[in-house]
Amino acid sequence: MKAKETAWATGRSARVLESEVVIIGARVAGAATATHLARAGHDVLMLDRADFPSDTISTHVIARSGMVLLDRLGVVGDLVESGTPRLRRVEFTSDLGFLSRTIKDRYGVDFVLAPRRYVLDDILQRAALAAGARLRAGASVDGVLRDETGRIVGVHGHDESGPIEVHARHVVGADGLSSRIARSVDAQPTIVRPSSGACQFAYFAGDWEAIEYHLSDGVFAGVFPTHGGEACVWAITTESLARHYRHGAHGADGALAAVLADHAPGLAERLAPEDQRTPVRGMLRMPNHFRKPFGPGWSLVGDAGYHRDAITGHGISDALRDAELLAQAVDTSLHCPSLEVSALARYESHRDRMSARIFEITVGLAAFPDQERFVALQRDLAVAIDDLAGELHSRPLPRAAEARPGARTDAALTAPA
């Protein structure tokens, strides 16, 4: 379907846009979904209320599974060229001792990345635009459009010029945890676990050479080196402990410093106040749930459909995986509408199965068991991520991906520093 913009002649001053697929949200999940669909020959429009490039709350680190998916998108080289440091060593400190390991070469990956989100999102958007997708930033969606049968046939919203409507054969909600699309279609939770975790983080300048994890009773802290000689320094606790420190330290900045001083003193000693480059940000509650991710004419991807505590740092990798799975299902449904339900049900089944192990490990870690059990769960997590990376690496490339330059460039993931 060729996109067009016309005057809407039913009483309101509005513009009508048309597209085969409209994706609400243009960050990791939305931009990756758009790229796969556009490369498969579909007309795709992304809408996002933000102006880009812009930052957002993020766990930053991209696990081996996510690196495999970035390689399938062909953007690993762009991320490295942007100045994202290659991270090849992981250090883990707890009362049980100190461990340092080098990331082994598996499935073409011997380093991971922790890019700033204004860099990662921009690179993924550029990939989508190069594939033929379109982006309208600064456009907020207020709700969905339905036909006489109740099928979702588009969205309505507004931008700085006034009301807009987008008519589409399929609507994708990639608009995050508080998804307007999920609420508009009444997408119900299918699996729910306790939501008690909290995360606080800020960026610090310094000499950062490795991913660092620091474990104490009830606190998991760490360092993710990122762009510009800075690192994301973070602390994950229970929500009650985070609120206790915020109250006692009179604000978020003081709370993060106090948590690290009490529970990761070796890290806190290396953080000079003058090296802090940003205010503290974070979340005081991190839900663990799955939502029903599809219905007639609509689907959900990324945090809109599946959210987990940040303690395992797998959110970006999950979003990249589900973007590929969903794009394949939507591609099938657009070519053969009679297969829509079965294709999208297969997407949900694959999403849930591929998420299950890491989701349950996440829930276990977020409960902050004793340190011995916590470390054992971390080992289980490493195995689960490697197993997922192997499965993703072996999957056939999405339709049309093999024709693009740079497909499956495993060499880009093992290039010398």
Domain architecture of the chain: domains with CATH: 5-58+117-190+289-369+398-413 (3.50.50.60), 197-283 (3.30.9.40)
Per-residue pLDDT tens digits for 310-352? 999 999 999 999 999 999 999 999 999 999 999 999 999 999 9
**Helix (H, G, I), strand (E, B), or coil: what is residue 362?**
helix
- Cβ-contact 220, 367 below 8 angstroms: no
Mean local confidence (pLDDT), 63-88: 97
Q: Which residues pair with 97 in a beta bridge?
A: 94
State the Cα–Cα distance between residues 245 and 238, nearest whole angstrom.
Answer: 11
What percentage of residues in the chain have a pLDDT greater than 90? 85
> Is residue 415 very low, low, confident or very high in pLDDT (cuts 50, 70, 90)?
very low
> Is residue 251 very low, low, confident or very high in pLDDT (cuts 50, 70, 90)?
confident
> Is residue 6 very low, low, confident or very high in pLDDT (cuts 50, 70, 90)?
very low
- The pLDDT value recorded for residue 287 is 94
* In the predicted structure, residue 132 carries a pLDDT above the cut 60: yes
Strand ranges (E), 147-257: 152-159, 162-173, 189-193, 197-205, 211-216, 219-225, 230-238
Strand 306-307 vs strand 288-291: parallel, antiparallel, or unpaired? Answer: antiparallel
State the Cα–Cα distance between residues 46 and 296, nearest whole angstrom.
Answer: 20
* In the predicted structure, residue 211 carries a pLDDT above the cut 60: yes
* In the predicted structure, residue 406 carries a pLDDT above the cut 70: no
Per-residue pLDDT tens digits for 10-68? 345 779 999 999 999 999 999 999 999 999 999 999 999 999 999 998 889 999 999 99
State the Cα–Cα distance between residues 414 and 166, nearest whole angstrom.
Answer: 43
- The pLDDT value recorded for residue 12 is 55
* In the predicted structure, residue 107 carries a pLDDT above the cut 70: yes
> Is residue 9 very low, low, confident or very high in pLDDT (cuts 50, 70, 90)?
very low
| Average pLDDT over all residues of the chain | 92
Mean local confidence (pLDDT), 280-298: 95
- pTM here is 0.92
* In the predicted structure, residue 405 carries a pLDDT above the cut 70: no
> Is residue 77 very low, low, confident or very high in pLDDT (cuts 50, 70, 90)?
very high
- Cβ-contact 61, 313 below 8 angstroms: yes
Residue 82, number of CB atoms within 10 A of its CB: 16
Q: Which residues pair with 52 in a beta bridge?
A: none
